[in-house]
Structures are given as structure tokens and as C-alpha cells.
């Protein structure tokens, strides 16, 4: 049977299914084709200390602002950011899997752990990119993604980060930039569990996946326009 021979109601149903998939965010857009069976149950290993060594001069901060497929794509492009790793923080259950985190029962947030060079990008620029690439006024929700795993959170790695994040949050609230109060939690970092391999660098490796094409790409283009002077240059060799 050809496509033209399918009943109209079937075609409409397929279209609605596609739309709902895109609207429902990361969890439901991850189909069996997107999730390699060989690693679907892989458990990440925890990191209880910053990945950067003190003698390198690099810093680490762990940020939660909704689906990590989006936030990883943003931060990887910032000049001075050495790595952005998708994972889970802020929960009680050790070695959580993506499937478990998506239930909201582990207490973890989807996060990215950002390693950056403060000589190239100050922490305040990291905070600016963080707060301007998601809605920090919606509790446990980002768009169609609902649950504590999508909460807005900063897991600080030292007292200086705590002070700067708190001050920045207070300034934003006072400025009226957002119509509602900011609900971002600012909490001391404890453990970070890197997400399963298939989540890492997701947008770059899956550019034609529907969620990447219709959700991440428009957001990334807006990010590139807004932070044009903060992005890595293609000919600089920085990755």
C-alpha cells in the first residue's frame, strides 16, 4: 500500500504522534533506535571531586537547566570551556541510570559538568549563559519537560562560586528581567554521575534526530547570535 492509499485518519494520527514526540522533550523523543541496546543499562561512575586539577588553573561547576542534550550543546561552544559532560547530580540513589532518573524517584537533576578556564571566561559569563538559556522561574519544569530531574540548579564547587551565583541571582531578581521570582537552587556539589555514553555530545552526533532538528537547533542558533563574542573561533583550534 502506498502513502496515498492510507486512510486520512491514519495519516493525521501519525502527524499528531510526531508532534507529541517533539513536544514531550528528551524522555519520550529517545526511541529504541536512538538508544543502543548494548549500553542502555550502563551505569555511570560517580565523580565526587572536580575533574580539573588545581595546578591546571581550571575550574569546574555543575549546572542543571533542563534537558542536558540542549545545555551541553550550548556550553561546548563557549570560549574557555574545556568540556561539558552530561550527567546526574543532586540525588540520593547511587549510580542512577537515565531510565531511573526520568521517573523522578532518584532525586537527581539532569546536569552538565562544565570545566572551564577562568582566565578565558569568568564565572559570571558562565552564569549569564546559564540563566539566559532556560526559564529559571518554573519549578521543576522546562517547557514540556516536567519533573524534579528538570529543575534549575547550580551545584557550586567552592565558596566563591556560591557567593557569585547568589549575588547574580539576587541582581536578576531585582532587575525585573524575569516576570516571576527565580527558583534556581544553589547547592553545594556532592557527586556527579556521567550519563551513559549515548547522551554525550548528543546534538553533534545526532543532528538529524527530530528533537535535535526542531528543538535544539533553533535554540542553539539563538544562543550563537546572543553570545557571538563569547564563542570559540573555528580557526583557533580550541575544542
Contacts of 32 (CB under 8 A, 6+ apart): none
What values do phi and psi take at 155, rounded to 5? -100, 100
Give dist(CA 86, CA 68) in Å, integer: 6
- C-alpha distance across the termini of the chain, in Å: 49
Q: Would you state the cell numbers that stand for residue 5, as one nine-digit string?
A: 492509499
**With contact defined as beta carbons under 8 Å apart, do 107 and 90 qualify?**
yes
Give dist(CA 150, CA 177) in Å, integer: 22
3-state secondary structure (DSSP) of residue 28? helix
Q: Choose, from 67, 70, 102, 212, the residue flagged as catalytic.
A: 67
**With contact defined as beta carbons under 8 Å apart, do 35 and 199 qualify?**
no
Annotation says 212 is catalytic: no
Q: Would you state the cell numbers that stand for residue 49, as one nine-digit string?
A: 571531586
Q: Which residues are catalytic?
A: 67
Amino acid at each position: 500500500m502506498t502513502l496515498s492509499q492510507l486512510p486520512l485518519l491514519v495519516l493525521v494520527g501519525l502527524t499528531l504522534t510526531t508532534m507529541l514526540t517533539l513536544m514531550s522533550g528528551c524522555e519520550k523523543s529517545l526511541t529504541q533506535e536512538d538508544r543502543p541496546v548494548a549500553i542502555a543499562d550502563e551505569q555511570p561512575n560517580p565523580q565526587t571531586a572536580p575533574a580539573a586539577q588545581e595546578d591546571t588553573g581550571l575550574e569546574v561547576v555543575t549546572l542543571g537547566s533542563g534537558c542536558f542534550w540542549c545545555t551541553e550543546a550550548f556550553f561546548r561552544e563557549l570560549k574557555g570551556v574545556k568540556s561539558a559532560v552530561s550527567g546526574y547530580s543532586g540525588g540520593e540513589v547511587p549510580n542512577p541510570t537515565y531510565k531511573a532518573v526520568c521517573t523522578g524517584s532518584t532525586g537527581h537533576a539532569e546536569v552538565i559538568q562544565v570545566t572551564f578556564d577562568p582566565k578565558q571566561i569568568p564565572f559570571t559569563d558562565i552564569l549569564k549563559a546559564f540563566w539566559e538559556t532556560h526559564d529559571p522561574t518554573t519549578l521543576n519544569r522546562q517547557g514540556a519537560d516536567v519533573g524534579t530531574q528538570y529543575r534549575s540548579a547550580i551545584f557550586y564547587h567552592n565558596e566563591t562560586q556560591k557567593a557569585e551565583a547568589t549575588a547574580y541571582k539576587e541582581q536578576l531578581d531585582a532587575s525585573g528581567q524575569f516576570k516571576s521570582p527565580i527558583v534556581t537552587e544553589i547547592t553545594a556539589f556532592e557527586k556527579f554521575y556521567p550519563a551513559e555514553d549515548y547522551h554525550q555530545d548528543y546534538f553533534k552526533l545526532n543532528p538529524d534526530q527530530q528533537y535535535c532538528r526542531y528543538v535544539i537547533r533553533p535554540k542553539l542558533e539563538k544562543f550563537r547570535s546572543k553570545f557571538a563574542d563569547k564563542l570559540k573561533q573555528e580557526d583557533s583550534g580550541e575544542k
